[in-house]
Chain A
Amino acid sequence: MRKSDSFGLFIGTGMLLLVAILIQAHFVARADLPLLQQKAAVARNLGLTDLCLSTEARYTRHLSQSDWHAAFQSHPLALDHFPSGSVFAPPETLKKSHD
């Protein structure tokens, strides 16, 4: 087999795998929809406001409920000492009050 044929085969397989991933993702997302709606019902019934992505600090546990004083609560120039705090963007309510 020529080297160009092997490369063509490799790229062809890569493309096929990508297409397979897109198709599989589409069907998994469709199959998961009832489960997601069930989770939405849990949020509605319990009155939940946030996803539980991180539990280390209250402003990353309840992102949408955080207030101005949470992030830099130790002293005015304190850097955020919770790793998750360096990933999440501030909530809309706080951004709104700066507009």
Chain B
Amino acid sequence: MIRSIEKQRNILDFTLSSLWRRRGKNLALLVVYTLVVFSLGSVMFFTQALKNEAAIILRGTPEIIVQKLVAGRHELIPVAYAQKITAIRGVEAVKDRLWGYYFDPIGRANYTLMVPESIDLKDNEIVVGAGISRVRQVFRGNAMLLRTYDGRPISFLIKGILSPESELLSSDLLLISAAGFRQLFGVPRHDATDLTVQVFNKKEIPTIAGKIVNTLPDTRVITRDEILRTYDAVFDWRGGIMIAILAGAVLAFLIFAWDKAAGLSAEEKREIGILKAIGWETTDVLQMKFWEGMVVSLSSFFIGVILAYFHIFYASATLFEPVLKGWSTLYPAFSLTPFISGYQIAILFFFTVLPYTVATIIPAWRAATIDPDVVMRY
């Protein structure tokens, strides 16, 4: 047993010296391989953390949302629709929601305006999200000027700033009173943006949703379950950036595999020939090639995974920020909770380390079985 371990250590010593002799090529390989693991790991950690966070946070969303559609687009819904929905058996309460978007030319950002049920605001009072406060440089007690739908400026007093901890939910949120909202957008008193429905028995949500659509055919319903499932599948592999990253990773592996499967270089073949001529067995050569693959792939795997972890959870996923931020000037500053598991690490390992190790062994086996005399003649 000890002899066997000692033998493997000797082979590993030789392998490391052999890799170091071709350090330029091998270091380049290590860097590219690390980048592949890093990008795949970053995507995996980011999407998993976001899905888990959304699953917990969005448990508090309305059970059913009813929106009116006109010519395929979301329109204001008459508040009178609430009475028809209340008449459906199993419905506990129906409330109207007022919300919309406001483009602020000063901050050059889009805000989400909402009328909160739980906060009492006077007609001229607003509460803003931490992102708005940062972009507009406005704070509690300041006045903020907004323009109405017909161009009139209205000054609002900032009653408070929403907690920066909840930026992932409320960064661009501007809470306003119902009267202020209607004045700003000219929304008639008998209309609302949409309706929320609360039901007695949560198991009946799909049935009641179906009944609402039957009763009001010009509406669409969005259930809480659908919202949760939307965030569970928020990053699809078919998405543009996702497929670009995956394609990059797959192509990089194809290059590795092609490089290995196309055969070893003349220098490497000569090295194998000399080793066999001085008494190495075919199995010894294969073990050396196995260790060569393991050294490169394990090193890249550990460095890549650790870098990906710090990138997502301690550097606020800086490399993904430009994609999510896009053309907007307001971007929430959030840090994700690290929801990672051994399962994710294992998946990453099987997708990155194994293919490379296998790709290294096959051409090495072909070279190791060649007659040393033939190899050394070239």
Contacts and interface: CB of A to CB of B under 8 A. Distances in A.
Interface of A: 2-4, 7, 10-11, 14-15, 17-18, 21-22, 24-25, 28-29, 32-33, 35-58, 60-65, 67-69, 80, 82-89, 91-93, 96
A22 B331 contact: no
Interface in B90-139: 95, 97, 101, 109-110, 112, 114, 116-118, 129, 131
B328 A56 contact: yes
Contacts of A83: 241, 322-327
Contact of B298 (A11, A50, A60): A11
Given A4-B13, A18-B302, A43 B57 contact: yes
Which of A15, A36, A47, A91 has the most B CB atoms < 10 Å from its CB?
A47
Given A67-B73, A69-B72, A89-B239, A25 B116 contact: no
Which of B60, B238, B299, B330 has the most A CB atoms < 10 Å from its CB?
B60
Given A69-B73, A89-B233, A93-B222, A52 B57 contact: no
B247 to A, nearest CB: 14
A51 B116 contact: no
Given A22-B345, A64-B230, A48 B169 contact: yes
Contact of B56 (A2, A37, A60, A93): A37
Contact of A55 (B58, B110, B313): B110
Contacts of B69: 67
A52 B305 contact: no
Nearest to B306: A17
Interface string B1-41: 00000000110110011000000000000000000000000
A58 B323 CA distance: 16
B332 A48 contact: no
Given A4-B13, A54-B326, A69-B72, A89 B234 contact: yes
Contact of B328 (A2, A28, A33, A55): A55
A43 B302 contact: no
A58 to B, nearest CB: 6
B302 A87 contact: no
B168 interface: yes
A7 B331 CA distance: 43
Given A45-B118, A48-B114, A87-B239, 20 more contacts: A32-B337, A38-B166, A39-B57, A39-B165, A40-B59, A49-B61, A50-B58, A50-B227, A51-B54, A51-B231, A52-B332, A54-B326, A55-B328, A58-B110, A61-B112, A80-B240, A88-B234, A89-B230, A93-B220, A93-B226
A86 B59 CA distance: 26
Contacts of A29: 337-339
Contacts of B303: 14
Interface residues of B, number: 90
A65 B222 contact: yes
Interface stretch (B170-178, B258-266, B270-278, B279-287): B170-178
B242 interface: yes
Contacts of B306: 14, 17-18, 21
Nearest to A45: B118
B42 interface: no
B172 A52 contact: yes
A44 B60 contact: yes
Contact of B331 (A3, A11, A55): A55
Given A47-B196, A69-B72, A92-B229, A84 B323 contact: yes
Interface string B176-202: 000000000000000000001000000
- Closest CB pairs A-B (n = 4): A86-B240, A44-B60, A14-B302, A89-B236
Nearest to B60: A44
Nearest to B118: A45
Nearest to A65: B222
12 contacts: A15-B302, A28-B338, A37-B56, A40-B56, A42-B162, A47-B95, A49-B61, A50-B227, A56-B110, A65-B74, A86-B240, A88-B236
